[in-house]
Every structure is written in C-alpha cells, then in structure tokens.
Amino acid sequence: MKLRYGFGNGFQEVEVPEKNLIGELHANPVPPGLPEAEEVARALREPIGTPRLRDIVHPGEKIAVITSDVTRPMPTAKVMPLLLDELYAGGVKPEDITLVFALGSHRRQSDEEHRRLAGERAFREIRCIDSDPDDCVSYGKTSYGTPVDMTRTVAEADRRICLGNIEYHYFAGYSGGAKAVMPGCSTRAAIQANHSRMILPECCAGSLENNPLRHDIEEAGRMVGIDFILNVVLSEHKEILKAVAGDPVLAHREGCAFLDKLYRIELQEAADIVLVSQGGAPKDLNLYQTQKALDNAKHAVKDGGIIILIGSCREGLGEKTFEEWMTAAPTARSLIERIRREFRLGGHKAAAIAMVLERAEVDLVSELDDDFVRSIFLEPQPSAQAALDRAFAKLGPDARVLSMPYGGSTLPKIVRK
C-alpha cells in the first residue's frame, strides 16, 4: 500500500506491504455539526456551569479577554465578533475591553500581527496588546510552589475571559482552559516552575485528572479568577468543529471529551515501526515544532521499536535554548538528568526527545545535515522509504507498521482486550 506524508511543501511516499500495516491514523468521523459561527453562537447561548456571559458582566467593568498569540491556531478573528456582541449585550463599552495576547515565553508581536489575529472589527473597536512578563502582579504561590505572577492588565481587570483551542499537549494533557493565564500571561520563572513537572509520568498527552501539572495550572487559574472561557476544537484543516463556553474547568472538560472522540485512536497492539509526520509546512519548519508528532508517536511504539519521524526541518532546530541543549549534550540520557537539575524552557523539548529515545530508536527524514542529525542522537535517513527498508532489515520482514500522517493531532492509545 502506498502512503503519503507531508514534507515541507511537498511529500514523501512509502510503499508498505498490506500484511504489515496495522493502520493509518486519521481523525475519527463525527456527525456534521453547525457552521463555525453558528456553533460559537450556540456555545455562548448555552454555557456550561455559568450564566450567560452577558449576565456575568456589568456596565463600567474592565474586561480582559485573553487569547493565543501567533504561535497557536486559535481562530480569534472568527470568535471575537460574537464575543463582542455578547459583551455589548451586557452593557460593556468597547473602551472597557482589552484583548490580551498571551505570549508565555514567546516574542512580542507587531501591530499587523495583532490586526490579523484579532480580526478587523476587534482591532478597530477595542484595545489589543501583548501580555508583559516584566509588569506583573503577584498572587503568591500555588500549593505546588509555583509563583502566580499575572500580567498587570489581566490582574487589574474586573472580569477575565479566556479563549483558546483545545488540542493534545504533551505534558499539560490538553491545551485550552486556564492555560491562557498560566503559562500564557505569566513570568518566565512561573512558567519554568510549572513546566518542571513534565518529567513525571502522569504529565502526558491526554492526561487530566491525575496530571499534577494540569492541576497546578488550574489552581493558578482559580487564584487569578477566570470568569468565563470560550474554547474551540479544530479540524485537521483548522475549521471550528466544536465550541464550549462557561466554567474554566467544566467547559474545558467537555471540550476535551469531544477532542478524544475525534482524535484519540484506540489500537489493539503497539507497532514495531511508526511512520509519523506533522503533515508538512508550516508545522515541520523546524525540529522544535516537529517534536510534537514524535511525542504522540511514542504512545504507539513497542519498547525497542523504531519511530521514523518525517519532517523537513528546513529552518533547523528552531529555538535557541533547545538548540543549545541538543548540541551541548554528551548523551541523550544527560538531557533527562539536566532537566531534573535545572528546568529551562526550550531545554524541556530536548529532554522530551531524550525520553522517547529511552524506549525507541528515532530515525529522522529531514533536510538537516546527516552528521548534525547524528550529533543530536537521531539516525538520519535519505527518504521515508529508505528509512522503512532499513527498519524492516533491522526488525525483520514481519515487523508491524503504524502510519500517523498527522501525528501532531492524533493520539494513539493501546487498548488490549
């Protein structure tokens, strides 16, 4: 069977014998829902665990709407007109609303990026700013010891509304919910304290109720005070399939349950070989982004198996600290030991790759130099087909193969009956 994987702006093709193929993971089929705008309007009319937003806000209150920055696929421009209408119905004036882009540890954005993300109407009617980690208000510490430092505009608002898209997150379990404020509007020190728990086994994609890192995020959210969330679940083509609104935990959980129906794929067996990609550009521009697909693939591979990671990485590793850690490490294991001693953003993804290497070999099909790939503990391969041929030669002609062409979105779960 011929399989195709996005690779930059092109493709890699692989021929896999049908007798070896466990399957190819795509989103599960869901019944057709409402058009995007109608679905968002429905969620705002039917909030979970709270009154309607128009009944929560009052005239004269300062409103902070917190949303994602340019690195996330949250379609802020699609939901803001409906959200503004709901706020105006509650008597709020445009001059009392600020749209805050939650930067986390990311770079500041330009006015043009603000305009594109917010949409023309919101950019014209209300103030749009980036969060500022250098101007924060302290709320103390969570019970986990994480400092809760919140960007001043959010801290001093009378009402806080969090937007976000819900997808799998490799240590917070899922994105969305209170993640808009922690880490979204926090200081680097706060983010590092929270993220340092990523090495715990419970901190993984799809984990919520037993995930201490997610609990820490939601405790920080309660300390700051989140009045309302509006989260969406997107298709592989970034269309809104589902919207949830209301309580920052209850609504978020309903969104996560929908995501599981869509993207969590149950398998009867683990694979000897997993072929995985991010789906091509722009998601595989660098290894920092491509790592997300690798981390989901680890849930499907047998101990001692091979993951073939297919991603252009034409812009290199993609993040300064990540590159420093990857290139300075004497062994892959040393990255795990280092993250336990000194958690650093960027370094956390290097450690995440090392944790996958504890279980499986990772072959990389990319545009990176072969010697460089070997220096960062991965095996370079000239093509996906060559990588698969080599894997069969190593593991035998009966090796079982799983295909994950959109590895960043689909989460395999082994369920043996």
Provide the domain limits for residue 75. Answer: 36-263
What is the CB neighbour count within 10 angstroms for residue 45? Answer: 12
The answer on 272 and 185 residing in a single domain is: no
Per-residue pLDDT reduced to its tens digit, 242-300: 999 999 999 999 999 999 999 999 999 999 999 999 999 878 999 998 999 999 999 99
Pick 188 or 210 by higher pLDDT. Answer: 210
My answer on whether 21 and 41 are in the same domain is no
| Closest-CA residue to 3 (of 19, 29, 28, 21) | 21
Section 16-40 average pLDDT: 93
Average pLDDT score over residue span 192-219: 92
Domain shared by 194 and 307, yes or no: no
CA distance 102 to 217: 14
Lowest-pLDDT range of 23-32, 131-140, 205-214, 325-334:
23-32
Amino acid occupying residue 311: G
Do 284 and 400 share a domain, yes or no?
yes
- pLDDT greater at residue 375 or residue 340: 375
Full-model pTM:
0.85
Confidence of residue 235 (pLDDT cuts 50, 70, 90): confident
pLDDT at 109 over 80: no
- Residue that terminates a domain, selected from 263, 287, 304: 263
Calpha distance 412→404 (Å, rounded): 9
User: Does 339 score more than 60 pLDDT?
Assistant: yes
For the segment 273-285, what is each residue's pLDDT rounded down to a tens digit? 999 999 998 789 9
The CATH number covering residue 298 comes to: 3.90.226.30
Q: Look at residues 263, 284, 318 and tell me which one is the last residue of a structural domain.
A: 263
Of 263, 293, 321, the one marking the end of a domain is 263
Are residues 153 and 43 part of one domain? Answer: yes
219, 301: one domain: no
Q: How many distinct structural domains can be found in the chain? A: 2
Same-domain status, 171 and 222: yes
Least confident stretch, 27-36, 37-46, 89-98, 372-381: 27-36
Q: For residues 409 and 300, what is the distance between their CA atoms, to the nearest angstrom?
A: 14
Structure confidence by residue, pLDDT tens digits, 113-128: 999 999 999 999 999 9
Q: Is the pLDDT of residue 417 over 60?
A: no
Band the pLDDT of 112: cuts 50, 70, 90.
confident
The answer to whether residue 70 scores a pLDDT higher than 80 is no
Same domain, 305 and 249: no
What confidence score (pLDDT) does residue 195 get? Answer: 87
Cβ(55)–Cβ(214) below 8 Å: no
Angle between helices 347-357 and 320-328 (to 10 degrees): 40
User: Dihedral of CA 377/348/278/253: which sign?
Assistant: positive
Q: Are residues 241 and 104 in the same domain?
A: yes
Mean pLDDT of 81-104: 96
Over residues 202-220, the mean pLDDT reads 95
Question: So what's the pLDDT on residue 55?
Answer: 98
- What pLDDT, on a 0 to 100 scale, did the predictor assign at position 103? 84
Q: Does the pLDDT of residue 226 top 90, yes or no?
A: yes
pLDDT at 36: 96
Q: For residues 370 and 335, state if they share a domain.
A: yes
One domain, residues 229 and 190:
yes
Token code pair at residue 311:
């991603």
* In a shared domain, residues 250 and 272: no
Does 341 score more than 90 pLDDT?
Answer: no
- What CATH number is attached to the domain comprising 93? 3.40.50.11440
Q: What percent of the chain has pLDDT over 90?
A: 80
